[in-house]
Amino acid sequence: MQDYYNQTLHLQLFGMMIGEWGEDGGSNRASLEYDVMDAFSVKGGVMIYQPGDSLYFQSLNDNDRIFFEARYSF
């Protein structure tokens, strides 16, 4: 995780490949979170599945997604 803009903007990148050269598939996730106030933050991102020789990742190929989260802590 990397913080920017006075530690109120947080970037997360995650990647996973299965197999010696990634031939069995994998997944990638990127998200960006912004702390609007101390008690309120918003987050959004994308999750991408990569098909490969593995039947598990082939079944997930059509399930790429985007997400959004708003969090209020008290």
Q: In which element (H, E) is residue 59 found? A: helix 55-60
* Half-sphere exposure of residue 40: CA atoms within 13 angstroms, side-chain side: 2
Condensed to tens digits (0 to 9), the pLDDT of residues 13-40 reads 999 998 888 888 889 999 999 999 989 9
The answer, yes or no, to whether residue 56 has pLDDT greater than 80, is: no
- Can you give the pLDDT at residue 52? 82
Residue 68, helix vs strand vs coil: strand
Stated pTM of the model: 0.76
Q: Report the C-alpha gap between 22 and 63 in whole angstroms.
A: 19
- Can you give the pLDDT at residue 51? 86
